[in-house]
Amino acid sequence: MQHNVCVFSSSSSTLAPIYYEHARVLGELLGKNNMNLVYGGSKVGTMYEIAKSAKENGSKIIGVMPEKLYNFGVSWDKCDEFYLTKDMRSRKAKLDECSDCVIAMAGGFGTLEELSEMFVQKQLGYNNKPIIFLNTNGFYDNLLKFYDEIIKKSFAKESARDLYFVANNPQEAINYILNYDFKEVKLTMEDIYTKIPESVKAKN
């Protein structure tokens, strides 16, 4: 099965070298494992590094960019498919539509927004996509601690830990996809809610 892997990453060109290196390695591994890249369509930052590397190693590149960013002239003209969207909301929907796997590299507020929506969709059973944090240089350590706090204080069920995987390097991320069970998952009300009031149970 050929996978379309959506990678959230950064548009910054002023990061530590390790982030660009992991982007290049991840792109190489996508190509060598017959996986396509779905990404933000940009020619800057780690977004460009992974796209260029994936393309060089045989991946099909699917770029998705909102009109406002496209008008800045930052789109990559080497994408095999390129979709222009009206805004960020429609961009997220297109990224979701085009992909069956999600990898979040180190990124800024945009990455967190995109990742959160994918995360909640899986939590509510709208899909069963593998969601992977590529935790380069421990970048996501504090966010993962916050997730632990959410679960500890009962804002989410303990089973929420099964919704994502933390990879310390690109190879671990690819291995997780290669071994992932893509079967359809149908969730019940009990799977989603931490405690269901009796009045709600009675109606169901």
Per-residue CA distances from 92 to 36, 40, 131, 189 (Å): 18, 9, 15, 26
What does the pLDDT read at residue 194? 65
Write out the DSSP string of 56-113.
Answer: HTT--EEEEEEHHHHTTT-B-TT-SEEEEESSHHHHHHHHHHH-SEEEE-S--HHHHH
Angle at 180 between CA 57 and CA 78, to 5 degrees: 25
pLDDT per position as a tens digit, 20-29: 999 999 999 9
**157-199 confidence digits (pLDDT tens):** 898 999 999 999 999 999 999 999 998 877 777 777 766 655 5
What is the token pair recorded at 169? 């390097």
- In the chain, the percentage of residues whose pLDDT exceeds 90 is 84
Mean pLDDT confidence for 87-100: 96
Whole-model pTM: value is 0.92
Q: Which domains does the chain have, with CATH numbers?
A: 4-203 (3.40.50.450)
pLDDT in tens, 121-158: 999 999 999 999 999 999 999 999 999 999 999 998 89
Predicted pLDDT of residue 5: 98
